Structure 1
Amino acid sequence: MKDIAKRFEQNPLLSPKDLPASTDGLQITCLLNPGVFQYEGKTWLLVRVAERPEQKEGVISFPILTETGTEIIEIPTNDPELIATDARVINYKGVDYLTTLSHLRLLCSEDGINFYEPKDYPLLVGEGMLETFGIEDCRVALIDGKYYLTFTSVSDNGVGVGLRTTTDWKTFEKHGMILPAHNKDCAIFEEKINGLFYALHRPSSVDIGGNYIWIASSPDGVHWGNHKCIIKTRKGLWDSKRVGAGAAPIKTEKGWLSIYHGANENHQYCLGAFLMDLEDPSKVIAQTELPIMVPSAEYELTGFFGNVVFTNGHIVEPDRDTVTIYYGASDEFVCGAKFSIKEIYSLLKFNNV
């Protein structure tokens, strides 16, 4: 299936070998799913860095955070109480664990292609009992001079949405978990609407409902209410199993444009788009029936978890038509691509709203 993404010729832009591990005894397994923003004339990525110990034959080993530091857990692969059918998650004695521990790392670039790690900027790591399995997949929204960082907080308590804010990227105010488990894929709009913050998010239900995109509003960006489900999975289409928001929606003359991810029963992750009303973004007025980006390049098809394109960061270029996205490919690499908003419009199917 042909898509409309214009991939960077330099892809992948970042691979695990390009950065040093955060600590001795760990190695970087994946670089993926960066939040994206502009600061001091540069393009910045807040990259998810997933690490684990070097794997030895006959043993699965992975790190978790504790009150005293990082603990390495080792489990024999022949243990009858181990379920390890997924590269990302295992179950041992009835408890789920991630096979890697993720933190967020700042990289910057003058040209949007060649990224490096600047000096004197901190790593963002999990803290407390709600982030013992790490923090992941950050979205960045700039509102009134303050950057809002929404990310996935993971622990054996569940998966929820954490929030930190900053103005200088060196000091951060920590607001804790703003949306409890099970929730992720939270993208705050970069403009208040009628005096309120708005955000897309993705609560999940195992029994009734599904992995759908919801919208909520807030008076302060921390306390959220007025939740409403706005995008559901579609049987028989590319987004039949789960959907989730990408980065902050883009304000256009026709509405708020959101680039989102969807997956099918075969765990193929593609990108699509939908359009929300400018004054009432809980109203979806159009959605693409076909994906705008499908895994097709070798680095998107083969990796830690193949057949995946996933974005949670973009920049709208000065022409207001070009959108540069940075995305995770096969859960292992960071890549770049460009879209035309006009081309996305041409694929939208409008509702009778």
Structure 2
Amino acid sequence: MRRRFGRDVVERWYKNPIITLENVPFPCNTVFNAGATKFGDEYILLMRVEDLAGRSVLALARSDDGYHFSVDPVPAMEPSKEEPYRSYERRGIEDPRITYLEGTYYIMYTAYSRYGARLALAKTSDFKNFERIGLISQPENKDGCLFPRKINGRYVRLDRPFGGGTGNMWVSYSDDLLHWGDSEVVMTTRAGFWDSDRIGACAPPIETEHGWLEIYHGVKNTAAGPLYRMGAVLLDLENPAKVLCRSAVPILTPREYYERVGDVGNVVFSCGAILEDEGRLRIYYGAADTCICLGFANVEDLIDRCRLGPNGDEPE
């Protein structure tokens, strides 16, 4: 039996976008790229908000239903005024991913300065008070996210060091969340495909019986500029450097006006997803670096997309 998917596996919410700058109670230019989690019965988004000067801060939005959000009156985290963070966050803090691990909510984000981009880690237990833990990579490195459990007794993260003009996905290991190493390439860009120029993690990996499901972004440079789309990959549960299968076609492509037009056009980019009952996944994503949107997908459909050929057909 042959099976086909439509253009996008991810189904957009019909009232997108769910958050724009009009919903932010302090002056800003844009709001996008939000980490996402459940905190009790509350849906939490930790959003990247670009202020009027062009620097990014992190702001909290809260919701009872996951659709309608209220944004806190002041940013949750701003570039630090204390060393050693001050020197490396002067140009902003960006793209947070939230992982619940061992009773704590960890936030891996990008610290940006004249020295480049590097990964940093913070934590919270109440989404009121946030504590920085450390600067945990050298520049240039972005798109970091923690796995939600230890693997073989060690903490694990995905990241995207940018060297030699390429951006590929790597996995790194740590015994204490501060010192990272034993890094391995997970997967690389694919010439001629939708993810031919650079790739990176989106939301933290989701554990399934088939493997770690990771939603990732891929970029293809076009005559009109970069085109950001989202795909999926399945990684081995005990060796996350091993790719089991990877989507040949995207799960989400910029098609709607709010995804095509904005500060950075033709972008869909997620930092957070929430798994709900019956394998339904809420995917919160930034659109055109200008607003936040919501999409839905079934985990099994995403895994099937990983296994299918380039035309959406089952491989022969």
Question: Structure 2-normalised TM-score?
Answer: 0.90
Partner deviation per Cα, 1:49-71 (whole Å, 9 max, x = no partner): 0012xxxxxxxxxx3xxxxxxxx
For 1:264-303, what aligned pairs fall within 5 Å after superposition?
A: 264-266=220-222, 267-303=226-262
- 5+ residue gaps, structure 2, are 1-5, 81-85, 310-316
2:214 equivalent among 258, 261, 265? 258
CA contact (8 A) 2:172 2:180 kept: yes
SS in 2 for 1:179: coil
Shift of 1:180: 1.4
Report the equivalent of 1:322. Answer: 280
Amino acid paired to 2:298: S
Shift of 1:193: 1.2
Report the equivalent of 1:345. Answer: 303
Report the equivalent of 1:190. Answer: 148
CA contact (8 A) 1:261 1:270 kept: yes
SS in 2 for 1:214: strand
Is 1:217 equivalent to 2:183 in the alignment? Answer: no
CA contact (8 A) 1:150 1:187 kept: yes
Is 1:157 equivalent to 2:115 in the alignment? Answer: yes
Partner deviation per Cα, 1:240-275 (whole Å, 9 max, x = no partner): 111000111010000001000001012110000111
Is 1:101 equivalent to 2:55 in the alignment? Answer: yes
SS in 2 for 1:129: helix
Q: Distance in 2 between matches of 1:170 and 1:43?
A: 14
Report the equivalent of 1:144. Answer: 102
Q: Distance in 2 between matches of 1:213 and 1:253?
A: 22
Is 1:229 equivalent to 2:181 in the alignment? Answer: no
Amino acid paired to 2:285: Y
Q: Distance in 2 between matches of 1:171 and 1:30?
A: 24
Q: Distance in 1 between matches of 2:216 and 2:156?
A: 16
Amino acid paired to 1:138: P
- 5+ residue gaps, structure 1, are 22-26, 53-62, 64-99
Q: Distance in 1 between matches of 2:299 and 2:25?
A: 37
Amino acid paired to 1:104: L
2:78 equivalent among 118, 125, 129? 125
Report the equivalent of 1:93. Answer: none
Report the equivalent of 2:12. Answer: 7
Question: Structure 1-normalised TM-score?
Answer: 0.81
Amino acid paired to 2:244: I
Is 1:178 equivalent to 2:132 in the alignment? Answer: no
CA contact (8 A) 1:150 1:162 kept: yes
Shift of 1:223: 1.4
Q: How many residues align?
A: 296
Shift of 1:347: 1.7
2:202 equivalent among 228, 246, 250? 246
Amino acid paired to 1:274: V
CA contact (8 A) 1:10 1:113 kept: no
Amino acid paired to 1:43: Y
Q: Distance in 2 between matches of 1:122 and 1:32?
A: 14
**Does the C-alpha gap of structure 1 residues 172 and 18 become closer, same or farther in structure 2, counting only changes over 3 Å?**
closer
Shift of 1:118: 4.3
Structure 1 segments (4+ residues) deviating >4 Å? none
In angstroms, what is the RMSD of aligned CA positions? 1.6
Q: Distance in 1 between matches of 2:264 and 2:241?
A: 33
Report the equivalent of 2:314. Answer: none
Q: Distance in 2 between matches of 1:316 and 1:145?
A: 18
Q: Distance in 1 between matches of 2:65 and 2:237?
A: 32
Q: Distance in 1 between matches of 2:177 and 2:199?
A: 23
Amino acid paired to 2:40: E
CA contact (8 A) 2:248 2:308 kept: no
Report the equivalent of 2:69. Answer: 115
SS in 1 for 2:70: coil
Matched-pair identity in %? 36
CA contact (8 A) 2:77 2:130 kept: no
